[in-house]
Structure 1
Amino acid sequence: MPGNSPRPNRRTSNKKGPQIGSGGQRRRGLKGKGPTPPAEMRKGHPKQRAAEAKSRKQGAGRQAAARRGGKAPSEMVVGRNPVLEALRGGVPAGALYVQQFLETDDRVTDAVKLAMERGDVHLMEAPRAELDRLTGGLNHQGLVLQVPPYEYAHPDDLTDAAADAGQDPLIVALDGVTDPRNLGAVVRSAAAFGGHGVVVPERRAAGMTAGAWKTSAGAAARIPVARATNLTRALQAYQKAGLTVVGLAADGEVELGEVAALSGPVVVVVGSEGKGLSRLVGETCDIRARIPMAPDGAESLNAGVAAGIVLYEAARRRR
């Protein structure tokens, strides 16, 4: 009789619909899953496969560069706040990696939205293990932004750009400045006061990282940054081309207001806040100038502030 059958799973009631104790599973099954994700994040979609193939190719490039002892061809910005701020700041990006099954918040939602609005950022979903590998185990919080390598100019390109514009070159060279935010601030000041570019050494100096891009507030897209293998030789080449090299130093022989060379073709050299100009660079300078400050004021200015003062003075004289 019904209810006493030894056969498992046998129906013991003719009543249709959910049985008592179902826990409302069918109601949960009807719940919406949210908006459709972009094609790059839908498993099996051609765009998603193409994005994964590109990621594998870039990963192989990074590994090959590491084997050669070179630098990785791209930079990774990790963490929800850094990624969101980088996207808001207009930092160039190739791909935004979002961890699979990530519990989202406003930062994740805004980052994905900004990446989609830009149109040139690939959205890719990846498992946590893959993001751990890409970031070297850093706390990425499920968001990783890939920033492509910056294309540096040659020091000669800066004087060529000034010649094409029919202007006397106004160039800033940084000696031993290691903070990318200072580099970004100098690039921003150069754009504001009519500079033709910034020169940085290849070694022991800040490069155009995501932090520098962000601080430049977009000016890095307009002002070229050149990289010199040897800064001293680059300055000597500028001298042969007719430029005056003015170095900023706390113990400079003349005050900034007395430097007439700022109205003509000039290279302004700014050293690090702690050590100032290196010995060889200081000896190469035609003029060593100091920025006058109050006797009881700060002992030195950071590179970004010092460069901004000199660039303003040069722009004022050129007007």
Structure 2
Amino acid sequence: MAKKGHRPSKAAPSRPRFYGRHAVLAALANPERMVRKLWVTREAMAGLDVPSTLPVTFADAADLARLVPGDAPHQGMVAEVDALEDIWLGDLIAQGEGDRRPLVVLDQVTDPHNVGAILRSAAAFDALGIVTQDRHAPPESGTVARSAAGTLEVVPWVRVVNLARALDEIAEAGFWRIGLSGHADKTLGETLGGERIALVLGAEGEGMRQNTEAHCDQLAKLPISDKVESLNVSNAAAIALYAVATRG
């Protein structure tokens, strides 16, 4: 029987390489994550408890640097992993039934550093999860995992084919969909009530697409001064999540 709810996208299988202590240790600690290989320096391995079935290769720092992009800070650890299993939007919504944890919806935010930073803020403020469109969001990668500082393993990330339809499903579940936009008339604080909140953010520069705005219940802006035109999307997400967490 087909499962009800918005179907997750089916991305092609890939094996990203995670690097850095936070990302690698969090992957090893996640029972839902399959870690296939581990490259590590002997210094970094000291005190590390890894499954006996995991292939471990000792290498020096220079060798590890060849396994990661550019000058990425590997901190003596690189792991090859399987991407996590897809999550259903309906299942994620059901996990938050009865509480007021917010959802974060990203409209074509493609920079992996930004998505990683948003995952970290989502974990810090106990968000229910994040939702992105599959074709206009980065895949799981070492850059995302490093920027997320381990929180890629604990914050549910739903990828959907059609963001507008996903926003409809989110509304049907009782969420008040607030789109952050610099041209909104009201501030975020003025729009927050007691409802379950879904924060919708667009890419830096372009912002949300018109169709995405049309699927929001309310547009709101952050009360920033005119000294800056806008905030980086990850900074805006952190401030918005704080506002939701501290509302009356």
Same fold by TM-score greater than 0.5: yes
* CA shift in 2, pair 1:253/1:152, >3 Å: farther
Instruction: Find the partner of 1:153 among 60, 72, 87.
Output: 87
Deviation at 1:96, TM superposition (A): 1.9
In structure 1, give the amino acid aligned to 2:96: A
Q: Which amino acid aligns with 1:293?
A: I
2:225 corresponding residue in structure 1: 294
Aligned-residue Cα RMSD (Å) equals 3.4
Matched residue, 1:317: 247
Match status 1:117 vs 2:58: no
The alpha-carbon deviation at position 307 of structure 1 amounts to 0.9
Residue 260 (1) aligns with residue 195 (2): no
8 Å contact 1:246–1:268 — kept in the other structure?
A: yes
Residue 90 in 1 paired to residue 26 in 2? yes
- Deviation, 1:75, is 1.1
The TM-score normalised by the length of structure 1 is 0.61
Q: Which residue of 1 aligns with 2:119?
A: 187
After superposition, what is the alpha-carbon deviation per residue over 1:61-96, rounded to whole angstroms, capped at 9, x for unaligned?
xxxxxxxxx63431135xxxxx45566663443212
Q: TM-score, normalised by structure 2?
A: 0.77
Residues in 2 aligned to 1:175 and 1:84: alpha-carbon distance in whole angstroms: 28
Q: Greater helix percent: which structure? A: 1
What SS class does the counterpart of residue 135 from structure 2 fall into? coil
The amino acid of 1:95's aligned partner reads K
> Alpha-carbon deviation of 1:119?
3.0
Question: 2:157 and 2:243 mapped to 1: Cα distance?
Answer: 21
Letter in 2 for 1:268: L
1:162 aligns with one of 96, 107, 118: 96
- How many Å apart are 1:144 and its aligned residue? 5.8
Please report how far the alpha carbon of residue 268 of structure 1 lies from its aligned counterpart in structure 2 after TM superposition: 0.5
User: 1:233 corresponds to which residue?
Assistant: 165
Bigger radius of gyration: 1
Is the CA contact (8 Å cut-off) linking 1:152 and 1:224 kept in structure 2? no
Contact 1:169/1:266, CA 8 A, preserved across alignment: yes
1:74 matches 2:15: yes
- What SS is found at the alignment partner of 2:26? coil
Name the structure 1 match of 2:41.
108
Distance 1:180 1:315 in 2: 25
Decide which of 260, 285, 290 is 2:216's aligned counterpart: 285
Q: Deviations over 1:217-275 (max 9, x none)?
A: 233333211111111110011112221111011111311121134x3112100111121
Alpha-carbon separation, structure 1, partners of 2:160 and 2:23? 29
Over the matched positions of the two proteins, sequence identity in percent amounts to 29
1:2-47 deviations in Å (ceiling 9; x for gaps): xxxxxxxxxxxxxxxxxxxxxxxxxxxxxxxxxxxxxxxxxxxxxx
Equivalent residue pairs, number = 225
Once the two structures are TM-superposed, the CA of residue 183 in structure 1 deviates from its matched residue by 1.6
Cα drift, residue 152 of structure 1 = 3.2
Name structure 1 gaps, 5 residues minimum: 1-69, 78-82, 98-106
Distance change >3 Å, CA 306–CA 87, structure 1 → 2: closer
